[in-house]
Amino acid sequence: MAERVIFDLTPEGLLLDGTLTFEDGVITAAQDGQEERSFHAEGLRELTVRMYVGCGQLEAVPQHGAADASDNTVICRFTMARAEAIGEFCKVVNHYIATGRVTALSLADLRVCPKCGRRYAKGLNVCLFCVDKGYLVRRTAGLAKPYLKQMSLTAVLVTLASAASTLVPVLNARLVDTYFYGGLKQGGGVKGVWLTVLAIAVAQLAAQALRILSQRRSNKISCAFAAELRGLVYDKVQRLSLSSMSRKTAGDLMKRVTRDTQTVRSFITEQGIYALEKLIMFVVVFAILVNISPLLTFLVVIPVPLVAFLISRFWKYIHVRYEKQWRYDSRSNSILHDIVRGIRVVKTFGSEAREIEKFDRTCAELARISASNEHFWALTFPFLMFLVGIGEFFVLIVGGRLAIEGRMTAGELLEFTLFLTYIYQPLRWLSSLPRRLGEVQTSLLKIFEVLDEQEDVTDAAEVKPCDLDGDIVFDNVRFGYKPYEPVLRDVSLTVKKGEMIGLVGHSGAGKSTLINLIMRLYDTDEGSIRINGVDLREMSQQAYREKIGVVFQETFLFAGTIYDNIAYARPTADPSEVIAAAKAANAHDFIMKTPDGYNTVVGENGHNLSGGERQRVSIARAILRNPEILILDEATSALDPETEGQIQEALARLVKGRTTFAIAHRLATLKNADRLVVIEKGRIAEVGTHRDLLLQNGIYAGLIKAQRQTSKFSQ
């Protein structure tokens, strides 16, 4: 597989279209599609990036490793717009030189289109300029396929409404030619006039009734489609990997689930039904006009090619404008979401005025962009409408002359001019369509991006039984959030069933990453984690995680009652089991002191409880889970010394018979662990009991001494 990035400068500093490729151990630089130079990675010590003012260059360092940079060979030069992508390319090649392993180039975080090199719009991982517009139509049509029968019935109703509408000009022409210029002049035909007028009224009434029925069905279909689409997006959000979630804000994801699906629904309701009606009306009326007068029909459509050309020219600006509007709308939602969730922090730091100013700035920018878009349409739309209607002037001039000369009756001219309204409506609607398409295209792109997001952690085609009654074996585990930037390197460890393992190390050493792998929030890049001889990747994620209990350092409680939050671990648990779990976590006493006991509402993220109370509810939740594997990530970090002692006693009972992994920055809390595993720079540096590691006088002993020294200063 070839890895490619774009560079854009010649050695002399002129702009060009260049491609940098790494394939089969060979680095190739091509300019304007022609290969210029290539290098074998085996003959290099490394690649290096040298940055200058406003530009940089990628250099190949020869294997002999001369200290003089003049021995380096310049591979390509680039502007700052390409610097990040070139840097990632450099890491991939250097990883190959160091390990012989080929890894995929990860440009997702750089948000750069591999085709055109433009940066992705914020919140998108697809390029608005390179995306296949036809794909959006086909994809949307595929999702709407289950509603095809209902949509067909709606189409029939719309067709009948259009047919009823076309009767009105025909009857008006009959009224003029037959009665006004015929029967009435001879003293008769009054009855015929009344019947014709009644027929016109019935036709208009029937058309409106059919439109109402079709609109109701259209609303029903669009609501059902939007609900299904919203469910699909929400379901996919639940299954997104942590790495995907971290690249999006909560407000962004909420907007995709709610507002973007609502935009699609509105488009189907307000535009979809009109599109069908206008298309049918245009075809029927155009055929009638040609039958009345081909010459006048030709005059009507003269402006259409010009308007279509202008619309196509406007289109490339429209979707960019509405993407920008979407981006600021999403940003305002994210700010509002953060302020509401972090209101205690905001008030504690007295930052209300600053947050109000930040939100007002974003809203003002959103208002400015929205007003600019509306101003754009206020200028262009009337102009397009005038161009569309130019043919009407030609019809009045030429048609009037034909009527005067007797080559067309007054009724035929009236019929033709009345039908003009029916044919100009679709054309004018078509002129305004790009505006709506710009909005819905942006929303569809963001919806489909979530739906198409590749899941990093998937179940095997045939999962094996989830039997955790055995040892956990880490076999040469290697993992990095980017494969060429490993966080864990060659980790090998066997954990006996029922053993308590304490994970120790400096911040950033890889402890939390190892925990994430145990919970299978990520899969290993190399090596494996096996339980009772079965690789985690061969087990069902749901079945496996149902047997894991976790207490995180950052406690999260749902906006419900205390009982609901504890029972979340096992919704089918009896009240007696929930109370027993709360007692084991030393939470029962404080719960009973609250006004409503277990029915006390904790508020958003448990803000009605203290930090220690939230932590104990979280521990009770893990106890109720009755897990086979227990993970404690600073489980006692928010507790006072007295409560911590009680919780440590409860946890000591809980870990018996369970395989436990515990992370604690206060190392004294891990003294009773069966073994301590010291992780240093992604590798296992030391393994042993608290006493053994102190006697080794290594990394662990150094951490203990540092904490004791810190305790002395804090006293």
Residue pLDDT, tens place only, 23-77: 888 898 888 767 678 888 888 888 888 888 878 899 888 887 555 567 788 888 9
Distances (CA, A) of 297 to 94, 275, 288, 307: 69, 22, 10, 17
- Predicted local confidence at residue 146, as pLDDT: 83
Q: Which residue has the tokens 């750089």?
A: 110
Share of the chain above pLDDT 70, in %: 82
- Predicted local confidence at residue 317, as pLDDT: 67
pLDDT band at 196 (very low <50, low <70, confident <90, very high): confident
- Token pair of 390, please? 């130019």
Q: Which of 349-363, 555-569, 645-659 has the lowest mean pLDDT?
A: 645-659
- Predicted local confidence at residue 579, as pLDDT: 92
- Predicted local confidence at residue 185, as pLDDT: 47
Q: How far is CA 707 from the centre of its chain?
A: 43
CA distance 83 to 315: 31
> Higher pLDDT residue, 317 or 625?
625
Q: What is the mean pLDDT of residues 146-152?
A: 79
- Predicted local confidence at residue 422, as pLDDT: 73
Average pLDDT, the chain: 79
CA distance 133 to 228: 22
Closest CA to 2 of 92, 74, 119, 85: 92
670 has a pLDDT exceeding 60: yes
173 has a pLDDT exceeding 80: no
Which helix (H) or strand (E) segment holds residue 50: the answer is strand 44-51
712 has a pLDDT exceeding 60: no
pLDDT band at 495 (very low <50, low <70, confident <90, very high): very high
Closest CA to 700 of 683, 669, 682, 677: 677
The top-scoring range by mean pLDDT among 332-346, 437-451, 480-494 is: 480-494
Q: What is the mean pLDDT of residues 232-246?
A: 78
Distances (CA, A) of 683 to 106, 335, 479, 488, 509: 24, 39, 11, 6, 8
pLDDT band at 531 (very low <50, low <70, confident <90, very high): very high
* Other Cβ atoms within 10 Å of 505 Cβ, number: 24
- Predicted local confidence at residue 186, as pLDDT: 47
pLDDT band at 592 (very low <50, low <70, confident <90, very high): very high
Coil, helix or strand for 13? Answer: coil
- Predicted local confidence at residue 142, as pLDDT: 78
Coil, helix or strand for 709? Answer: helix
200 has a pLDDT exceeding 50: yes
CA distance 448 to 440: 12
Q: What is the mean pLDDT of residues 350-366?
A: 82
CA distance 433 to 271: 8
The pTM for the full model equals 0.67
The residue type of 466 is C
First to last CA, the chain: 60
> Higher pLDDT residue, 89 or 612?
89
CA distance 183 to 194: 13
Closest CA to 648 of 666, 635, 659, 657: 635
Q: What is the mean pLDDT of residues 502-518?
A: 89
Q: What is the DSSP letter of 68?
A: -
Q: What is the mean pLDDT of residues 390-413?
A: 75
- Predicted local confidence at residue 700, as pLDDT: 86
